[in-house]
Amino acid sequence: MDALQLTGESAWALWQKVRSEAPLIQCITNFVSMDFMANTLLAAGASPAMAHCRDEVQDFQKIASALLVNVGTLSPEWTDGMRLAAEAAIALGKPWVLDPVGAGATPFRTQTIVSLVNLRPTVIRGNASEIMAVAGAAGKTKGVDSTAEPSHALEYAKQLAKDLGCIVAISGATDLVTDGERVAKVSNGVPLLTKITAAGCSVTALITAFVCCAPSDPLLATAHALAVFGVAAEVENVRGPASLRVELLDNLYSMDKATLTSNVNLQWD
């Protein structure tokens, strides 16, 4: 595969690699998202393995290609498994991606997320509030500000990316992806996605699969995954969120090159 570029052609090429390699993605995720996340990975061509227990997460990373950690329905019993799995991924040189669900909502949650962030994920994806909370809780801001402008969140994301040497993605009407210097903008998807639970969780899992197949360029791999998921959700005349969820998964399974490349909306900021 050629070096990635911020184009639909490149997104397609990477997706085809995911489909042909079918990487095994170990997911430690919340209870709400498990079904939809596993089906998202399967539809898009990757292979999910949900395993969270401290007694086997390290062994599982040996056979997996990457790790997704999502802290949605957090508890101390699960935190151990998340940390051990992330350490195993790092030791084995495999990418791992963090979804800091609800960062800032409670002290327990924020502290747990900070301890995971300090293990230096390859990619962090959240909404503007969550990314600001992650940055703030790490000592760089005063806390969550859900009324902040996207551009305000972006500065925190850039600083976080620089400090950790990772990629930070902010989801929104337009997604922003940064390595601390460059910023890629992804303007795909539809507002109705916010009415489907775990849509954000699932796209983070898809990011994990894409990054896993393009380890040398996690910024563009993240942008490509966001674009693919977004285009799959751009369904006309859909009746409501449950129909959209069905069509989104079907589209991830069946989408062809022309549909993807003619709808992808990717730009450098």
Q: Which of 16, 148, 241, 263 binds its own copies (CB under 8 A)?
A: 241
Q: CA-to-CA distance for 231 and 85, rounded, in angstroms?
A: 32
Read off the tokens for 6. 């911020």
Interaction residues for its own copies, span 77-96 (CB under 8 A): 77
Nearer to its own copies, 88 or 219 (CB): 88
Contact criterion met (CB below 8 Å) for 25 and 212: yes
Cα 110-221-206 angle, rounded to 5 deg: 60
Stretch that binds its own copies, among 90-98, 176-184, 248-256, 260-268 (CB under 8 A): 248-256
Stretch that binds its own copies, among 125-133, 206-214, 221-229, 237-245 (CB under 8 A): 237-245
CB of 12 to its own copies, least distance (A): 18
Beta bridge partners of 186: 175, 266
Stretch that binds its own copies, among 113-121, 162-170, 189-197, 216-224 (CB under 8 A): 189-197
Cα 37-18-243 angle, rounded to 5 deg: 40
Residue 240's CB: how many other CB atoms inside 10 A? Answer: 10
SS (H, E, C) 41-94: HHHHCCEEEECCCCCCHHHHHHHCCEEEEECCCCCHHHHHHHHHHHHHHHHCCC
Contact criterion met (CB below 8 Å) for 184 and 219: yes
Q: In what order do the strands lie in the sheet with 175-178?
A: 47-50, 24-28, 66-70, 96-99, 123-127, 167-171, 175-178, 183-186, 266-268
Q: Which of 197, 261, 263, 265 binds its own copies (CB under 8 A)?
A: 197
Stretch that binds its own copies, among 11-19, 75-83, 173-181, 206-214 (CB under 8 A): 75-83
Nearer to its own copies, 7 or 194 (CB): 194
Residue 5 within binding range of its own copies, rule CB under 8 A: no
Q: Which of 6, 25, 38, 167 binds its own copies (CB under 8 A)?
A: 38
Nearer to its own copies, 41 or 225 (CB): 41
Residue 35 within binding range of its own copies, rule CB under 8 A: yes
Read off the tokens for 198. 């775990």
Residue 53 within binding range of its own copies, rule CB under 8 A: yes
Residue 9 within binding range of its own copies, rule CB under 8 A: no
Q: Which of 13, 32, 114, 119 binds its own copies (CB under 8 A)?
A: 32
Residue 56 within binding range of its own copies, rule CB under 8 A: yes
Residue 250 within binding range of its own copies, rule CB under 8 A: yes
Interaction residues for its own copies, span 94-133 (CB under 8 A): 102, 105-109
Nearer to its own copies, 34 or 124 (CB): 34
The residues near 198 (Cβ < 8 Å, ≥ 6 apart) are 30, 32, 33, 36, 37
- Considering only CA atoms, which of 32, 85, 83, 27 is closest in space to residue 208? 27
Q: How far is C-alpha 101 from the chain's CA centre?
A: 11
Interface with its own copies (CB under 8 A): 30-36, 38-39, 42-43, 48-53, 55-56, 59-60, 63, 72-77, 102, 105-109, 194-198, 239-243, 245-254
